[in-house]
Each structure stands twice: as structure tokens, then as C-alpha cells.
Structure 1
């Protein structure tokens, strides 16, 4: 589903150069929940953004669902990205738009018909348990509800891949558990391949099928996560 081969990314500034990702090769299988863990500055968030070419690698290839994204440009790249949803630590919601307005954004960008947009927005809000919040504004929501809106927005365009950058690090333990259950539901019900960047091994143990460990921009290991008996 996601194949990275020899990807590297270096940043340059007046203070010098920084190698964020160095020669990473990784194969993420269709339908899995894959964790990427490491200390702050390990390169895990940069690697995640390379997966949809929000960060273009300096070298190497990025293949998602059979398409080599780093070779695409313009409209072709935009269309390919529609199959890749993304959620962030701080939600990235538009606070002067309602919940339904936020969820509709990717559908508006794709120029979907109004009727289709409205139906899809209600469908995904129901899926994440926020149908009753459709007309509210994000400022009135809890952190967990805001993250559910972000998940609904990411699902609106029916992605096959969902990239999650520290999706629970701003949440309390109970809400973290609730969001992980939503993501598990997305994976099991819709067959969406999920990649989660986190610094929390408990998140990995609770939801991931495999985990990759990063250190100083390098991929140190990839291994299966032991499934707990009650899961």
C-alpha cells in the first residue's frame, strides 16, 4: 500500500543543514495500522509528511497504492492525495466554520455537487458520533470532539490511507482511548490503512499491528506488535 525506498530529507538554514530523514526504506501493508515511534526530532513526522509528498524527499521514491507520488505534479498529484487523509495533533479546524462546514472542505475543493457534499458530511459525522454537533462551531467542542471532526473531515473524500500525526498527544487518557477506538473502527469497518506517528508506546500497544522505530532520522527497526488477548 505504502512503499518508501531510500527516502532522505535535509533542511537548510543560515545555521547549517539538518538531516531529518536518512535513507529510509519501509513497506506498509494494506489494511494495517502501522505505528512510527521515536523521540522528539527523530524524523517521524517528516517521514509521515513524505508519505503524501507534503515534504518532497531529496532522494528516494514514494509509492502509494501503486502510484509513485514523487513523480507526479500539479493536478495528478492533487488527485492522488485525495486518497490520503491526514489528521494532526492540534486538529487544524477552521474556527469560523461549523462542524459540517469543516467536514465539507475537502469535498468543496474536489468540486463535489452540493447534494453529494451534504449527504457525505452527514454520513461521516454519524460515523464518528457527532451528527448532533453538525451546526455547532469548533470553539464549543471538547478536544476529543474536535479530533473526531478532524477524522470525519479526513474521511469525507473516502481515502484508502489515513496519516495521523500525534493524534492523541493533546488529549487526556480517557479521550485518547475514545479516539483510538474511532481509528480502530475506521480501520476495521472501512478497510483504511492507518499510519500513526506517536511518542507514546501505549498508543502503539493499544492499536497498532506493526511499529517502526526511528532515531536520528534513521529507521532502526520494524516489528509486529503483540495483540492483547482481549482484543
Structure 2
């Protein structure tokens, strides 16, 4: 489902250059929940953002499904991104939009007719257990509820892939467990392939089938979580 082939990314500033990701190759199978773990600055989030080409690799290729995203023109890439949902650490909700209108945004950009949008909003809210929050604003919600809204928004366009950038790091342990169960339910119900970036091995052990460990912009090992060999030192 996801194939990264020798992707690299270097950032430049007045102080010089920084190799954020260095010649990384990774294969994530259809329907898999795959973790990427490493210390702050290891390149995890940059790698995740290259999968939907929010960060364009300096070198290498990115495939999602049968499409090479790195070869697409801007309009084609924008359309391809409709099949890739993304969840962020700080939720990234629009504060002056209600819960319903936050979920509607991706569908509006995709040109989904209003009756279909309304039906899908209801479906997504039921899925994350927030049917009664449709007309509230993000400031009226708890952190866990805001992340559920973010998940509902990411599901609105029925994505094949869900990219999660530290989705539980701002949450308490019980709310983290609840959000991870929602993501597991997404995977099991819709067959969505999930890639989750985290610094917490407990998150990986709870939800992921495989995990890749990043250090200094490189994947140094990939293993099945059930095996666990060498992962406790990550």
C-alpha cells in the first residue's frame, strides 16, 4: 500500500543544512498498522509528511497504492491526497467552525455535494461517538473529544491510508487508550492502512503490528511488534 524508495530530505537555513531523512526505504502492507518510533529530531514527522508529499523528497520515490505521488502534477497530487487522511498532535481544528463544519471541510474541498456531506458527517460522528457534539465548537471540547473530531474529519473522504503524527502525545493515559481503540476500530472496520508516528513504545505495543525505529534520519531496524527483539531500547 505504501512504498518509500530511497527518500531523502535536507533542510537549509543560515546555519547550513540538516539531513532530516537519509535514503529511507519502507514498505507498509495494505491494512497494516505500522509504527515509526524514535527520539525527537529523528526525522519521524518529516518522513510521515513525505508520504502525502506535504514535504517533497529531494530524492527518491513515494508510492501509495498504484500511484507514484512524487511523479504527479499539482492537480493530480491534490486529488490523490483525498485518499490519504492525516491526524495531528495538536488536532488542527478550525476554532471558528463547529464540529460538523470541521468534518465537512475535506469533503467541501473534494467537491462532495451537500446532501452527501451531511450524511457522511452524521456517519463519522456516530463512528467516533460524538453524535451529540455536532453543533459545538472545539473550545467546548476536551482534548480527547477534539482528537475524535480530527479522526472523524480524516475519515470523511473514506481514505485508504491514515497518517497519524503523534496523535496521543498531548493526551492523558486513559484518553490515549481510548483514542488508540478508535484507531484500531477504524483499521478493523474500514481496512484503512495506518501509519503512526510516536515516541512512546507503549503506543506501538498497544496498536501496531510492525514498527520501524528511526535514528538520525535513518530507519535502523524494522520488526514485528510481537517479536519485540531490540525494541525496548528504542
Task: For 2:146 and 2:49, locate their aligned partners in 1 and report how far apart those are by CA, in whole Å.
Answer: 21
Q: Which residue of 2 aligns with 1:93?
A: 93
The answer to whether residue 139 in structure 2 is matched with residue 129 in structure 1 is no
Consecutive unaligned residues in structure 2, runs of 5 or more: 229-234
How far 1:5 moved relative to its partner? 0.5
Give the match for residue 169 of structure 2.
169
How many pairs does the alignment contain?
Answer: 228
Pair 1:213-2:213 in alignment:
yes
Aligned-residue RMSD, C-alpha: 1.0
State the alpha-carbon separation in 1 of the partners of residues 38 and 74 from structure 2: 33
Structure 2 length normalisation: TM-score? 0.96
Task: Give the unaligned 5+ runs of structure 1.
Answer: none
SS at match of 1:169: coil
Normalising by structure 1, we get a TM-score of 0.98
Within 2, Cα distance between the matches of 1:155 and 1:73? 25
- CA-to-aligned-CA distance 1:149-201 (integer Å, 9 cap, x gap): 00000000000000000000000000000000000000000000000000000
* Number of the residue aligned with 1:21: 21
Q: CA deviation at 1:74?
A: 1.8
Instruction: Confirm or deny: 8 A CA contact 1:166 1:196 kept in the other structure.
Output: yes
Report the secondary structure of 1:45's partner residue: helix
Stretches (4+) displaced over 6 A: none
Structure 2 CA distance for aligned equivalents of residues 116 and 38 of structure 1: 40
**Residues 204-224 of structure 1, C-alpha deviations (whole Å, 9 max, x = no match):** 000000000000001100100
1:112 aligns with 2:108: no
